[in-house]
Structure 1
Amino acid sequence: MTESTSLRTRVMDETKTAMKAGQKERVAVLRMIGAKIKDADIAGRAQGKEGLSEDEIISALRGMVKSRQDSVRLYREGGRDELAAKEESEIAVIREFLPPEMDDAALEAAVKAAIAEAGATSMKDMGKVMGALKAKFGANLDLGRANGLVKAALSAG
């Protein structure tokens, strides 16, 4: 994706392409993504925002992935592999629109650096550390993964 191509535009373009190619399942997921963006835009307008930023859209997409990952786990536990597979295919489509995630080593290094920068010594400093990470990495950071690493580091230290 080029920086000038917005996620909204990419979702619309991909939806049109998938429709022309007769990819019904992909079209359904892309429409879900579009609907999520529209719903978030409407909610934002109620708060006086004009529209979602790219970072806010990425955050919404990460939320979609997380909810589907939770569903996959529950479906697997319940022996419903066909439903889990459907959720996993939706996750794959959603991830096409997310920036690449940091690998574990890079994330651990970023967390250690943020803890040092914030002078964090206990769980009371968790908010400072998460704020520093969010400010530095924005939407490129999976806050769920970072949260677990920060908790582990602060409770061990």
Structure 2
Amino acid sequence: MTTSSLKSRITEDMKAAMRGGDKSRLGTVRLILAAIKQMEVDSRTELDDAQILAVLDKMVKQRRESISQYQQAGRDDLAQVEQAELEVIQAYLPQALTDDEIRQMIDAALAESGAESVRDMGKVMNLLKPRMQGRADMAAVSGMVKTRLS
């Protein structure tokens, strides 16, 4: 069993945060490793980089939802904590796609799938998700696809 390069990098960053005394970063990195470990235990396999990206993507989505809820409730202190965690998690994700790159990928997926209406949206999203995982907010991409197909 070989450890994925992303998991190794996260583990090394945890050690560096411990040595450097960076408690907030250390806490977030430990949360990441715990989420990865939980998925490994649940699936009884060691996760590869693509699966780890999916875990990180889910964590990013959770943080974004929490930030908006905390801001609506007027709890900026808690929103700042979530924002700090979000920034640490995003450091492990690949470079985010630009709006132009997203539009080009949507165009290519529409052409590839032959989608013509909103009913074909699942086909398009199935093509886009593996290509954009961790690089774009899939909820926003879904909205863009829906607009294009309407």
Q: Deviation per CA, 1:9-30, whole angstroms, max 9, x where unpaired?
A: 0111000000000001110000
The aligned counterpart of 2:105 is 110
Letter aligned with residue 39 of structure 1: Q
Once superposed, what is the RMSD of the aligned Cα atoms? 1.7
- The match for 2:133 among 113, 120, 139 is 139
Counterpart amino acid of 2:139? Answer: G
For residues 71-124 of structure 1, what are the alpha-carbon distances to aligned partners after superposition, in whole Å with 9 as ceiling and x for unaligned?
111111111111100100000000110001111111011101111121100111
1: distance between equivalents of 2:102 and 2:109? 10
Deviation per residue, 1:110-152 (Å, 9 max, x gap) = 10111112110011111111122235x2635433332221111
TM-score between both structures, scaled by the size of structure 1 = 0.87
**Residue ranges of structure 1 left out of the alignment (5+ in a row):** none
Hey, what does 1:72 align to over in structure 2?
Answer: 67
Distance apart, 1:154 and its partner CA? 1.0
Tell whether 2:90 aligns with 1:95: yes
Runs of 4+ aligned residues of structure 1 deviating over 4 Å after TM superposition are: none
What's the TM-score once normalised by structure 2's chain length? 0.91
Aligned to 1:153: 148
Structure 2: runs of 5 or more not aligned: none
Amino acid at match of 1:13: E
* Contact 1:134-1:141 at 8 Å conserved across structures: no
